[in-house]
Chain A
Amino acid sequence: MILAVLTVAGMASAMGLRNAVHCVLALTLGFTGVAALYLQLDAQFVGLAQIMVYVGAVAILIVFVIMMTHRSEPAAPPNFISLWTVGSVVAAAVFAVLAWAICCSAASTQGLPPQPGVTVQQIGDALMHRFLLPLEIMGLLLTAALIGAVVIAMGHKEDMK
């Protein structure tokens, strides 16, 4: 319950604050809350991977980009689009439909099954046997995506001094 409140507060302030750096700080709070929820759901490996990837890498990357694109604008533009009420209403409607579907569903009222007790060795075995091809494809995709990101962000030759 506390974790849920913490996560929602972090995520909501990440979307609501005016300063972009404060948004990223609130975002790390939200990511940490999600990781703690993973730990609560007995998915220790995924929780720690979430902390390492999101809190450790993605948040730092976003902070870098904010610092690189930061300008002290003389007149700060408004943070939200002019139709922000319409966007909020659409998002609230999406949440209402999802919550209605969840509350009507019969499958979501079952109790907690016994603790699975998954070890990292089991995860490694599954990755090396049953999920070997997806793992290789993921490695290829990560390599291609990171090289592509560097190439896109590097710009043209004449731009570089």
Chain B
Amino acid sequence: MNSLQNYLLLSSLLFSIGFAGALIRRNAILVLIGIELMLNAANLNFIAFWRYGPAPAALTGIMFTIFSISIAAAEAAVGLGIILAVYRHFRTTDLYHMNSLKG
């Protein structure tokens, strides 16, 4: 059951769920959550390949994932800050009403 193939299938399923959410949701916060899901799927791929790879003692997969989690945290903070600034301007988080770049 727990072969590399199943982990890869699971992470591609998670990626597709996040991708679908980022495509079809109207709330900007939930679009950001979809992007976080895609990053999580990529991290799961890193760990699975590290575990099933030829040299797990080299720790490269773990290092990649740690840095990727840090990047995702920074991205979430900046993204939510941007959403707050946009909300202060447009008074909504609905993406349909954010249709102008200036004004």
Which A residues are closer than 8 A to B by beta carbons?
1, 4, 7-8, 11-12, 14-15, 20, 23-24, 27, 30-31, 34, 37-38, 40-43, 45-46, 49-50, 53-54, 57-58, 61-62, 65-66, 68-69, 71, 77-81, 83-84, 87-88, 90-92, 94-95, 98-99, 102-103, 105, 107-113, 116, 118, 122-123, 126-127, 131, 134, 138, 141-142, 145-146, 148-150, 152-153, 155, 159
Task: Give the shortest distance, in Å, between A57 (CB) and chain B (any CB).
Answer: 6
Indicate if the CB atoms of A118 and B59 lie closer than 8 Å. Answer: yes
Partner of A4, one of B6, B20, B34: B6
- B-side interface mostly: helix
What are the residues of chain B within 8 A of A152 when measuring CB–CB?
78, 81-82, 84-85
Indicate if the CB atoms of B82 and A69 lie closer than 8 Å. Answer: no
Indicate if the CB atoms of B63 and A131 lie closer than 8 Å. Answer: yes
Indicate if the CB atoms of B26 and A8 lie closer than 8 Å. Answer: no
What are the residues of chain A within 8 A of B88 when measuring CB–CB?
155, 159
- The CA-CA distance from A15 to B93 in the complex, in Å, is 16
Q: B70 contacts the other chain (Cβ, under 8 Å)? A: yes
Q: How many A-B residue pairs have CB under 8 A?
A: 235
What are the residues of chain A within 8 A of B80 when measuring CB–CB?
61-62, 65, 149, 153
10 example contacts (A-B, Cβ-Cβ < 8 A) are as follows: A15-B18, A41-B50, A41-B51, A54-B40, A57-B73, A79-B26, A91-B19, A112-B51, A118-B56, A148-B78
Further pairs besides A69-B29, A152-B78: 18, Cβ < 8 Å? A8-B10, A14-B21, A37-B10, A43-B62, A43-B65, A45-B62, A46-B66, A58-B76, A68-B84, A95-B12, A98-B16, A107-B4, A111-B3, A112-B51, A118-B59, A145-B75, A152-B82, A153-B84
